[in-house]
Structure 1
């Protein structure tokens, strides 16, 4: 009962103040203006930056929310939302604009929940990863064409099939021994990706993201890794088959965290498909190669899911307010998931911070690493865990930790690595 009361309390906190927002589709210039307007309204908790440019030269803007914008505070996790990767899947783009305005307004009105979230989390919102494709989709006047035009970038490339294929490396390592985390990029990877993909990869390398969601359209479901299956061919047809990660139970919990906070995603039936609890393993739905959510998990510390938010990829403006109200609590609740698990600092016996230390959890075959300032964040379900920190040239340290039951739960630990006596 206490869990439901706590969840109800979170919703009521959001209902206390209603931000004044405009529900319309934003072309590129309008999108940029909307982001600058939020920055101007909340200059002390926001930063607007670009991670690069599209094929046609449009900025890939990100709006950051933090009590110290532009600064990574040790022990404060980094979170990101990315939308409009497919240019004709536009609801996520509008939701992130609404979310930015909402966070700003609620902070200004003293909403305790939002204030704590911004003070304890560094939040990055990218409304459009494919602004060129969006302009193509938005220029179409017939609704049927919007589902066909603008999906790809200006070079005609599907950006969610454009990341380096680390799944193949991982599946090879599973058979022959090797890592399934922080996999190296192929030597010629820069020549194989589009400018938008390149910008996101460099972004991942520059920030120690912990949790992320990629906002799409065309269905209503929370989709979690792996997206690429161990391909099984029957009479020339690739059959869907579930491909769980070592963190499968955690990814299910993260996905349900969104679907159950959503207005109706958790009901499971939509767009002609049925998804129990409103979630699905990506490969069990359909297998795809070179996708962004698998790349996040295999290349970095970031755990990402894909949110399919609307059966209609380009919903009419009169539906945008309904969609915002259906997704608002879920968008906030999912950000709060970044604070479930353990976090800590890794230092040596002289109190120097150790970057790149490997954090292993017994029984879960997927490691994360400490950031440049020695801090680390490991998302975990409630339970008791044996956690080991190790780094080259040091003696490893192992600690037993307990993650509490549902609700906000972060266990802070400190790993003190000792230099071996030679």
Structure 2
């Protein structure tokens, strides 16, 4: 065989290999994939795109299925200071399946776009995106292809996972939670999530906290309003107006939602919901996205649903760059764990605190805000910041707070004196006073 023939054979082999690779990375088929297929797909993605993806499980379902999460980021395997953590959760109700499909399609879109699409590349360089396609795989496997029935909604133990989280307004404690809920609660403690959304079906609307109320000051005009209500409204509105049809407000022709978003409690009261738990105990702003009128629509409708939601899913991730981020440093310049970072005028039920890196993230709309930062053994620090819109720059404003140690009394001061020394000083003071009084009396003669 000639050299030219050898060269042609090598070239043919390379082209064939490239074609096989391209055939693999073609768009994920738009259909319903069972749990085995999803696990296989996520595993292959993590192996073939290992430089910017990472696959891990946050726990198992009642029937022992892994709750798989895929991370997509320039830094997939570990948190980096200044890079916010974001998450999407799908299929919490097993028979509400559109979110599950949308998240798998989003994974496919992001993996194909990273390095070739400038927006996707910049997005994944600036944030760690965690995607849990199915929080309730047992429910999905038990569900039926029906728009309205509840078969598969609950987990294997017959529990509604979106009624199973501890609730600040009803006094529910962290006990008796289902294993899927426990996994998410633990997840929130291992990652400092800044922004999140959970995907449902049965309506087309973006819903935001609070979902519940005990009739306190949060209850305003039939809505349960959080201290960060302006941010939540912006987040829900961002998804709605970026969606192809949600902003119409009456897609399903049964309930009208002006501009396609609503306060959760205003829609209907819900105790033990995941979005309230994220906000109150995870310091993570989460909204609920209802993506389809039919909970389990025919596969022929999935292409249109993906086109409806693609831009909105991307636009929502970008909102993680609202507000301000940075570190709190103690008097020695060391990152301070558990420092409280409070925005004046926003009385959050649980205070925002820094992580082990001294980091804080506060999602805020553009404007001027006064911050009060406190840490045991340090003087409280008050600073006012002007915050721009960081979404276009793919980065929130970065600002570090430097604390000063509390001044402690010197060893010779009155407050540190012994009881005997204090009594001696008192006696001397009284003696001087008596002498002055005696002198005044003598002068009067």
Q: Give the TM bin, normalised by the shorter chain.
A: 0.7 to 0.9
SS of match in other structure, 1:81: strand
Structure 2 residue aligned with 1:120, among 113, 123, 126?
126
Give the match's secondary structure for 2:37: helix
TM-score (norm 1): 0.86
Corresponding position: 1:38 with 2:78:
no
Aligned with 1:129 (options 127, 135, 138): 135
Tell me if structure 2 keeps the 8 A contact 1:401–1:411: no
* From 155, 161, 164, the counterpart of 1:162: 164
Unaligned 5+ residue runs, structure 2? 1-24, 409-445
Structure 2 residue aligned with 1:84: 91
CA-CA distance at 1:37 after TM superposition? 2.4
Structure 2 residue 336 is matched with structure 1 residue 330: no
**Offset, 1:36:** 1.6
* Cα distance in structure 1, aligned partners of 2:366 and 2:380: 24
**Residue 270 of structure 1 aligns to a residue in which SS?**
coil
Matches within 5 A, 1:196-207: 196-207=180-191
| Aligned mate of 2:356, from 372, 375, 383 | 372
Is the Cα–Cα contact under 8 Å of residues 266 and 278 in structure 1 kept in the other structure? yes
Counterpart residue number, 2:155 = 153
Q: Tell me which moved more, 369-378 or 80-89.
A: 369-378
Equivalent residue, structure 2, for 1:339: 321
The correspondence of residues 168-247 of structure 1 with structure 2, limited to 5 A, is 168-169=170-171, 186=173, 189-190=174-175, 192-230=176-214, 241-247=222-228
Q: Please, what is the CA RMSD of the aligned residues?
A: 1.8
2:430 match? none
- How far apart, in 2, do the equivalents of 1:253 and 1:308 lie? 17
In the other structure, the counterpart of 2:286 is 304
Q: Which has the higher strand share?
A: 1
The CA deviation at 1:91 is: 0.4
Q: Indicate the residue corresponding to 1:267 in structure 2.
A: 248
- Check 1:248–1:114 CA distance in 2 against 1; reply closer, same or farther (3 A cut): same
**Distance in 2 of aligned mates of 1:342 and 1:371:** 15
CA contact under 8 A between 2:323 and 2:389: conserved in structure 1?
A: no
1:376 is paired with a residue whose SS is: strand
Q: Secondary structure at the match of 1:67?
A: coil
| Offset at residue 132 of structure 1 (A) | 0.2
Which whole-Å CA distance do the structure 1 matches of 2:302 and 2:47 have between them? Answer: 24
- The yes-or-no answer on 1:51 pairing with 2:58 is yes
Match of 1:397 in 2: 381
Partner in structure 2 of residue 384 of structure 1: 368
Question: Is 1:414 aligned to residue 405 of structure 2?
Answer: no
Q: Quick one: distance in 2 between partners of 1:230 and 1:280? A: 19
CA distance in 1, matches of 2:168, 2:213: 12
Q: Which moved more, 1:21-30 or 1:394-403?
A: 394-403
Matching residue of 2:303: 321
Asked if the contact 2:322–2:389 (Cα under 8 Å) also holds between the matched residues in 1, the reply is no
Counterpart for residue 102 of structure 1? 109
* Inter-partner Cα distance in structure 2 for 1:330 and 1:355: 35
> 1:402·1:411 contact (CA, 8 Å) conserved in 2?
no
Q: How far off its partner does 1:218 sit?
A: 0.3
SS in 1 for 2:242: coil
Indicate the residue corresponding to 2:418 in structure 1.
Answer: none
Computing the radius of gyration from Cα coordinates, the structure with the larger value is: 2
**8 Å Cα contact 2:169/2:214 also seen in 1:** no
Distance 2:308 2:44 in 1: 24
Structure 1 alignment gaps of length 5 or more: 1-17, 170-184, 233-239
Distance 2:390 2:62 in 1: 44
What is the alpha-carbon distance in structure 1 between the residues aligned to residue 149 and residue 122 of structure 2?
39
* Secondary structure at the counterpart of residue 347 of structure 2: strand
Distance 1:297 1:317, change over 3 A: same
**Cα deviations across residues 312-337 of structure 1 (Å, max 9, x unaligned)?**
10111111111111100100110000
Q: Given that residues 147 and 314 in structure 1 are in contact (C-alpha distance below 8 angstroms), is that contact kept between their aligned partners in structure 2?
A: no
